[in-house]
Structure 1
């Protein structure tokens, strides 16, 4: 736990030194939401709830990809070799997953707030919708962190991330849209248990696979 705590603090310090990346992600969210506002709210005087929901998850997905891609590429090979002599691979991957979950959850909540300010709030069950946001942040972060570790071993990191993450992200995104749609319709919690359990299972499987397989990747 001390090793994990130290590695998470290292990630926070590294992000704070490169604040332009975080500021760039917030600017990306604000500008994307503003474009949606100009396209829908001003021109067609409103937006359908299903379109509202789909656009939000598209924004959050691209935010996740852009913010987590740099998990391994922002550190040089020499520094990673230095980490190799100090920390265990399990601590490395878990610290990056936990930090990326916190980072993406923060960006998602900021994005949701800005989205509601510009495009209104058609959500009837906000607690269920926030549950979908949390599950989405955990799923996107764990999946993309492991994929970023694999892609960092190749030259074309962005293309490889898109190819490797698509088969995992697609079913997860489908469940998230269904769960958030139930929240927008104000349905009872018992109608969404299947989606919640599937998302929890996907998140647990991805984190477990990352914990077990990352040491082999780290040694290479």
Structure 2
């Protein structure tokens, strides 16, 4: 009876609600210890925007908007896509012994979404500093930037989980990611135009709901499909 109580108590202590924050904290500590990765992404953002500034100066609104989302895409590839690619088989086996598949993938999705929100804010600041500020609604564009960063992070985290089980991982991510990310970039660029206009465009909220629906679909696919990869 005593051993059963101990087992039940351990099971409660190791519930998913406790594992997910612990896994997120683990990723945060690794990111803090490996600061060269974070600073490398920041250097990439600053240098890319600076090159754009040297070649184009302060571009028009549409070019400014397009450049922001293209750079955000490459920032996401550099910052988020490494989630599974840097984990060795031994480390994944250790995670398999202490956590479930759904807890693990949810923690990755949440951490990468928070990371991309920070990157989106920093990118917007550097954009406004070097390329000017054509925005009429800065807060609205920041919110759209957060939404776009979360969407990019969800897609590339899911793709990184799939590519980690195959050879030529980087090439596989590019092949799978291109047809998935294009619709989201088009939606984001159209939604973001509202931050440049004094009047809200028609159908704006429908496009926002569609973008959120795409993000929820990616989360559902990751939670459903990742356990099959987890067992491999």
TM range (shorter): over 0.9
Query: 1:73 aligns to what?
Result: 85
Asked if the contact 1:123/1:183 (under 8 Å) is kept, the reply is yes
Cα drift, residue 128 of structure 1: 2.3
Is 1:40 aligned to residue 56 of structure 2? yes
Q: List runs of 5+ in structure 2 lacking aligned partners.
A: 1-16
Corresponding residue for residue 182 of structure 1? 194
- Bigger Rg, structure 1 or 2: 2
* Cross-structure match for 1:159: 171
Matches within 5 A, 1:24-103: 24-41=40-57, 46-103=58-115
Question: What does 1:10-29 correspond to in 2, within 5 Å?
Answer: 10-29=26-45
Q: Secondary structure at the match of 2:196?
A: helix
In the other structure, the counterpart of 2:226 is: 214
| Number of residue pairs the alignment of both structures matches | 216
Residue 76 of structure 1 and its aligned partner are, at CA, apart by 1.0
Name the residue aligned to 1:131. Answer: 143
TM normalised by structure 1 equals: 0.95
TM-score (norm 2): 0.90
Mapped to 2, the partners of 1:206 and 1:193 lie a distance apart of 20
Shift of 1:113: 0.1
Q: Is the 8 Å Cα contact of residues 113 and 150 (structure 2) preserved in structure 1?
A: yes
* Deviations 1:117-173 (CA, angstroms, capped at 9, x unpaired): 001111112232122111111111111101001011112111111111112111111
Is the 2:45–2:71 contact (alpha carbons within 8 Å) kept by the matching residues of 1?
A: yes
Q: For the residues of structure 2 that align with 1:8 and 1:189, how far apart are their CA atoms? A: 38
Q: Is the 8 A contact 1:123 1:184 kept in 2?
A: yes
Contact 1:40–1:47 under 8 Å retained in 2: yes
> Could you tell me whether the CA contact under 8 Å between 1:123 and 1:186 is conserved in 2?
no
Match of 2:210 among 195, 198, 217: 198
Which 4+ stretches in 1 moved above 3 angstroms?
none
What does residue 145 of structure 1 align with? 157
